Amino acid sequence: MQFTFKYQAASWGKARRVIVCSTHTADELVPWNHAFVVTSLASEAPETLFKTYRQRGNAENQIKELKCGFGFDKTDSSTFARNTARALITGIAYNLVQLFKQLFVSEDRRSTISSLRFSLFHIAGRITWHARRVVIHLASNYVYKNWFSRLMDEVHQLAT
């Protein structure tokens, strides 16, 4: 259910259009979920505006991940060329992680680089070599052991 009304806060110079989208889910603890969009666009349909603002929010989340998860906003060097090279390498790393997520992380594509690092690389274990094979021994209490093994199998199948 969607409806539109005008609203003007005390600090605003003019009234703005407010669109409310209310969804009802029977199986959740809170049965109604309300989403609000405040906009100055008067002629757009509410469905179009909600789709546009959700995509904008998704883009902002990707920028946040690029800055926080990959350090894209760091300019530690004193020269422009070094900072540019760092930004380009960071962008390549971000794109490689996005490709990895599309190929192998089907459960939750919204997972961030921080959660992937924690679940895939913060692992207690050891690596041994047996008969020209690399064997990864993971800790017995590693929660993501099955997922890690499946990912390694998929990566190995992709390589062959």
What SS3 string covers 13-27?
A: CCCEEEEEEEEECCC
116 φ, ψ to 5°? -65, -40
pLDDT in tens, 57-73: 888 888 888 888 888 88
pLDDT in tens, 2-55: 778 888 899 989 988 888 888 887 777 777 888 888 888 878 888 888 888 878
Residue whose tokens read 């760091």: 74
pLDDT in tens, 113-146: 888 888 887 888 888 998 888 888 888 888 888 8
Q: Residue 47 has which token pair?
A: 């469905």
CA 13 to CA 122: how far, in whole Å?
52
| Amino acid, res. 11 | S
pLDDT at 81: 93
pTM: 0.58
pLDDT at 84: 92
DSSP H/E element including 65: helix 46-70
